Amino acid sequence: EAQVTQNPRYLITVTGKKLTVTCSQNMNHEYMSWYRQDPGLGLRQIYYSMNVEVTDKGDVPEGYKVSRKEKRNFPLILESPSPNQTSLYFCASSFKIPDLGHLNYGYTFGSGTRLTVV
């Protein structure tokens, strides 16, 4: 089954304890991205990757790191989590960012990771 798999689904951690949220896709997608979703703020992009070894900042990258060593994996790393990083996180992937002539392409999202930092 074609899917984006995130782990863990739920995580409660303490301030300052490094954590990694994994994301893996089995669709050979070039593009992968991380979003966080907070009430009243919608989905905000954290980091994205156009392909292996190519990553770039989104709108809210502070406090996060990513890596793209393989096409299928795009882990999100919080080196020193803080309570303001408590949020619902989604990983997403796509064959390509939609461009002219490929208007039916969108994202496939993972099921989400609910992170609480206390």
Binding site for another protein (CB under 8 A): 33, 35, 40-43, 45, 48, 50, 58-59, 88, 90, 97-100, 103-112, 114
Question: Are 23 and 8 within 8 A, CB to CB?
Answer: no
Question: Are 13 and 117 within 8 A, CB to CB?
Answer: yes
Least Cβ distance, residue 118 to another protein (angstroms): 20
Least Cβ distance, residue 108 to another protein (angstroms): 8
Given the complex with another protein, which of 63 and 112 has the nearer CB atom? 112
Given the complex with another protein, which of 18 and 104 has the nearer CB atom? 104
Least Cβ distance, residue 35 to another protein (angstroms): 8
Report in angstroms the alpha-carbon separations of 51 from 68, 75, 79, 96: 7, 14, 23, 10
Dist. CA 44–CA 48, nearest whole Å: 11
> Residue 83 phi/psi, 5° resolution?
-55, -30
Least Cβ distance, residue 98 to another protein (angstroms): 4
Given the complex with another protein, which of 62 and 104 has the nearer CB atom? 104
Given the complex with another protein, which of 15 and 51 has the nearer CB atom? 51
With 0-12 / 13-18 / 19 or more C-beta atoms within 10 angstroms meaning exposed / middle / buried, residue 11 is middle
